[in-house]
Homo-oligomer: A and B are copies of this chain.
Amino acid sequence: MKITDLRCAVIGKHPIVRIVTDEGLHGLGEVEYTKPYLKPWVLHFREALIGEDPTDVERVMLKIRQRGSFKPYGAAVSAIEHALWDIAGKAAGVPAYKLLGGKVRDKVRVYNGSIRRKRTGDRPQDYAADVKWMMEQPQNFFMIKQGISFHSNMKDTIDGFHYGVTQNKAGYHGAMDQGVISERGFNHMLDCVIAMKEVLGDKVSLALDCGPGWMLPDAIKFARAVEKYNLMWLEDMLTGDYVPWVNPQAYRELTTSTSTPIHTGEQIYLRHNFKELIETQAVRVIGP
């Protein structure tokens, strides 16, 4: 079997990758929504794929895997890998997971990271109402992840939230809001956590998506302040998301300063770049 074409269509804002073969089979891959601009990135790899056998997934990937990088550049390469596995599964007449070691469990826990309605505001009562609505959703989530700080509008809507420069948005992740968080901003976040925990109790767990952009002292202070609330994790406080570096040494200092689990990883491409983060236990939770 040979690859005859690589196509990419933007549906909604998702770039959808389609790999076409000379035997009528095709494979589909999908990039996360909010990245319509990745279409030319995906198509850049077309010439490298034509003529290859898509069922030799690793052989094909060796031609292009090196050209991914920190988020978002790895996404274009990874979506192509998804489409290759899709073809390999179809060609073998089995679900793709059978080619990846087979099934280990029959169900997985999922937390709410994306079912949202517009929040009424960024005050503690708004956050409380928001998680109340979420915990009443039919999926019966065991955990809710909520954005605060630089990963939320409160950095703009809460007066004097931080001392950094507010970036004019360019329509895509590119600028990072960052800086020292004021005492008022700090207390505001804490009030939001308390308000959410009053609603959630110990029935539904809470995790916070926090940045990136915190200064290390603020991160340490906040992680300690919320210890009694048993959060599942604090995500991307220092680096993460679209940041093209990891700084695992700083994460290690944060992690060892607190019992609150610290989390990062979604900006990282390839296991090579997770190496130090894992080996030094710089974070407690990896979110690839």
Complex contact B70–A69 (CB within 8 A): yes
The one of B63, B69, B74, B272 in contact with A168, judged by C-beta atoms closer than 8 angstroms, is B63
Place the interface of chain A in its size category. 35 or more
Interface pairs (9), CB distance under 8 Å: A37-B44, A45-B170, A62-B165, A66-B174, A66-B175, A66-B243, A66-B244, A67-B244, A249-B276
How many copies of this chain sit in the oligomeric assembly?
A: 2
The one of B40, B173, B270 in contact with A66, judged by C-beta atoms closer than 8 angstroms, is B173
Complex contact B242–A174 (CB within 8 A): no
Is A256 in the interface zone, CB < 8 Å from B? no
Complex contact B48–A174 (CB within 8 A): yes
Complex contact B66–A73 (CB within 8 A): no
C-alpha gap A73/B73 in the complex (Å): 8
Q: Please name the residue on chain B nearest to A71 by beta carbon.
A: B69
Complex contact B47–A170 (CB within 8 A): yes
A 237-280 to B, binary, CB cutoff 8 A, 1 in contact else 0: 00000111101010000000000000000000110110110000
